[in-house]
Amino acid sequence: MNGKIAVVLINYRDYAKKYLAACRDSLRSQTYPADKLKIYIIDNASTPESYQYLKNNFPEARVLTRSDGNYCAANNLGFRAGRKDGCESLVTLNMDTELETNCLQELVLALEKHTEAGIAQAKILLFPKNENEKKQAKINTLGNKINFLGFGTTSYYNEVDRPITGYPEIKCYASGCCFITKKEVYQKIGGWNEEYFMYHDDMEFGLKTLLAGYKIILAPQARLFHKYEFTRSIKMLYYMERNRYLMTLSFYPFKMIIFLAPAWVVMAIGLMFYALFKGWFLTWFKSTFYFSRPSTWTKLKKYRQEIKKINSKPMAILKENIIGRIDFLEIDNPILRLFVNPLLNLYWRLLKFVL
């Protein structure tokens, strides 16, 4: 474990004032050799004040600035800087985390032991809110899932942590909260698609990695605690809804898109009424209107061509890794659990048979 690694943190406005100190201290305590560790903080939507705050409070990190808040572009900026500085492995890390002392070492070890893996995700645990949770941690995610309609969800959310041996394979994608990848993987798949801006970007990154012939694994001894909050801003809802269509229309073969159309229409109608009920209809409308622009379809044509260069026959990979049900584990919705998911599972089984 002698190679240099780059760890990329992204700040957005005053985010660092809430989370930087604890994350910084956990990075400073890592067992991985300090001279082999390069920290990059991307000051997204940077101001002179935020830039100076980062420089003063994490002087050993290299601070790079961006103005527009594009999370995907910020990750690309950090990873390119790491590659330029000779880093062999690249880590994306949320700032609202605290790492156990051997976390980075275990992430590097996971890729070294499994050369077929292109990504290794840390075991992401929920940050304890009380004394009981300090004694018995709970899981945030052990790898994320993709529903065939483009919804991304966590796995094992809020379950009690337990020992995991080996390096289990993650069938869908690694959470962008914390994963490590090899520089050659990043180069081969072309990094993050900056059109996504934020949300589902890790899904897109993971699917390209799978299509490129790599596996995605969990590094269960690489543990960190995530100050996760399942609260949704209107801006977030826009990108989540828009990007699930962006992902499916980019990756799915045309035959699959045609057979999926009825399910998409039904789900779109259901979400429209849900948006009306919840008071974010305008956000839903904007995410749908995005696909009425000719420029969007020009971009989609380009993305499909880029993905085809990675793998010209993605169907087998998609069928193996995508699931039917929607597992919003943070929300126990009886309609989803008892009615919608059984129908979605049946639809997906039939679709896979036809395809």
What CA–CA distances, in Å, run from 34 to 27, 38, 233?
A: 9, 8, 37
Q: Which residues contact 175 (CB under 8 A, 6 or more apart)?
A: 121, 124, 140, 141, 143, 144, 154, 202
pLDDT band at 154 (very low <50, low <70, confident <90, very high): very high
**Rounded distance between C-alpha atoms, residue 207 and residue 246, angstroms:** 13
**Rounded distance between C-alpha atoms, residue 127 and residue 16, angstroms:** 17
Mean pLDDT (whole number) for 316-329: 84
Q: Which residues contact 36 (CB under 8 A, 6 or more apart)?
A: 2, 3, 4, 5
Q: State residue 352's pLDDT score.
A: 86
Q: Which residues contact 75 (CB under 8 A, 6 or more apart)?
A: 8, 10, 42, 92, 191, 192, 201
The larger pLDDT score, comparing residue 3 to residue 330, is at 3
253-278 per-position pLDDT tens digit:
999 999 999 998 988 998 899 889 88
**Residues 115 and 33: beta-carbon distance below 8 Å:** no
> Which runs of consecutive H residues, i.e. helices, occur in the chain?
15-28, 48-57, 71-84, 103-113, 131-135, 183-189, 201-211, 234-251, 254-278, 281-289, 294-310, 315-321, 334-335, 341-354
**Residues 93 and 178: beta-carbon distance below 8 Å:** yes
Q: State residue 234's pLDDT score.
A: 60
2-32 per-position pLDDT tens digit:
689 999 999 998 899 999 999 999 999 999 9
pTM comes to 0.94
Q: State residue 198's pLDDT score.
A: 93
**pLDDT at position 232 over 60:** no
